[in-house]
Amino acid sequence: MGSKNKLKRFQENETFPNVIQPTRESLLQGSFEHIGHWKEYFRNDNPIIVELGCGKGEYTVALARQNPDCNFIGIDIKGARFWRGAKTAHEEQLSNVVFIRTQIELIEQVFAHDEVSEIWLTFPDPQLKFKRTKHRLTNPDFLLKYQRILDSKGVVHLKTDSAFLHGYTLGVLGGLGIRPQMAHHDVYKYVHAPAEVVSIQTFYEQQYLAQQTPITYLKFSYEK
């Protein structure tokens, strides 16, 4: 993507009412106005569902279309990417969608404890190199962050084409004493696959499927 095109998207993001771009400093200082007040922001008591590393926002927008009684928040540091999702949601007047530009490591400065009902991780970078372990979105540190912002019945979904990340996450969950509610190495071959998992396909997911790459899926909660 050219720099001029990126700049245009950044500028347009600033005009969208469904895009929030807090500074890192405001988050670290605890002055982010919406933390603990997301239901007031959406003006309802509907569940809050978050997609981390939302990319172009395809999944966030599709989930919002399918579930008008839930609120959806897509988070990514690359605003030029989620511009597409924000623009689509704005054009379709989807009032239950918002995008936040920030680092995922700061989610505890974005959401209060027990404020989120579900977290989606859709095709995150598996960070294959050992030195990149700390950046894997299902490493133990991230999983503990998720636990703190999820409510007592909250769940995490992981949908990925990476058999490595699927297996790695199963290992981490086992180490934490967490037994997945669902775990499939090829979710499209599972008769009882959740509709929201198989009915929504991102652009890149369609490419993976065309190449006959299995799509894996995990669903887990922290309930004992």
One digit per residue, the tens of pLDDT, for the chain of length 224 reads 567 788 899 999 999 999 999 999 999 999 999 999 999 999 999 999 999 999 999 999 999 999 999 999 999 999 999 999 999 999 999 999 999 999 999 999 999 999 999 999 999 999 988 888 999 999 999 999 999 999 999 999 999 999 999 999 999 999 999 999 999 999 999 989 999 999 999 999 999 999 999 999 999 999 86
DSSP character at residue 90: H
Residue 179 main-chain phi, psi, to 5 deg: -100, 120
Q: How far apart are the first and last CA of the chain?
A: 46
Q: Is 125 a catalytic residue?
A: yes
Spot the catalytic one: 125, 141, 151, 161: 125
Q: What is the pTM of this model?
A: 0.95
CATH fold of the domain at 3-221 = Rossmann fold (3.40.50)
The C-alpha atoms of residue 106 and residue 50 are separated, in whole angstroms, by: 14
- 3 state DSSP class of 54: coil
- Exposure string for 77-93, b = 16+ CB within 10 A, e = fewer: eebbbbbbbbbbbbeee
Length of the chain: 224
